[in-house]
Chain A
């Protein structure tokens, strides 16, 4: 079974430029998460999707960040314009549910390491 796929793996951009990250979750997983991981920290949730609906985006900086999950499968996270402080790893995860127990385990992709110059 294929895991969570993310691209690109690395991205270097200049500040004020736009950037987009793509995520393909594990087949059949209807819950998708985007996390931000700063250096030396654990990941922090940006947004959670149930199918195509964003059900928790309280931590997403909506002035510059946007996300979409068309057709409830792939998802794209965008930053426009990027700032120096956005340099971090952006992780995508998926799970088969949120009802609890081991079935709510989130499986992560390899992440996109963003460097803003």
Chain B
């Protein structure tokens, strides 16, 4: 079984500051992928970044980076230079890559509000 835990129901950050959204996971699958999605109030789930469990380096995509600590089973999302448009729900998700199915297992999300 897989489980994603996001312990921060809500976060505030000032514009242009960096923010870290926490995500811890649990899985028995030896190979897995970790994803972060952004869901604005419009409802669409927007893919942000991917990290494979065997990737040697932390993933980065523009202002997004993933702080992957495999031993601690954490995959925190770091958003640098926050913008007002970053205000949204953020979901951490994972899926096994071997024998545990292909569905994404999501956390409950963190609501991020960027203030001027």
Contacts and interface: CB of A to CB of B under 8 A. Distances in A.
Interface of A: 31, 33, 35, 40-45, 48, 56, 89, 91, 93, 98, 100-102, 104-111, 113
Interface stretch (B11-19, B37-45, B67-75, B76-84): B37-45
Contact of B52 (A33, A93, A98, A102): A102
A47 to B, nearest CB: 10
Nearest to B9: A40
Contacts of A108: 37, 44-47
Nearest to A9: B43
Contacts, number: 67
A42 B107 contact: yes
6 contacts: A42-B105, A43-B91, A98-B102, A100-B33, A101-B52, A105-B35
Contact of B103 (A56, A105, A109, A113): A56
Contacts of A93: 45
Nearest to A113: B43
B102 A56 contact: yes
B72 to A, nearest CB: 21
A25 B107 CA distance: 24
A57 to B, nearest CB: 11
A106 B47 contact: yes
B34 to A, nearest CB: 11
A93 B104 CA distance: 11
B25 interface: no
Contacts of B104: 35, 43, 45, 106
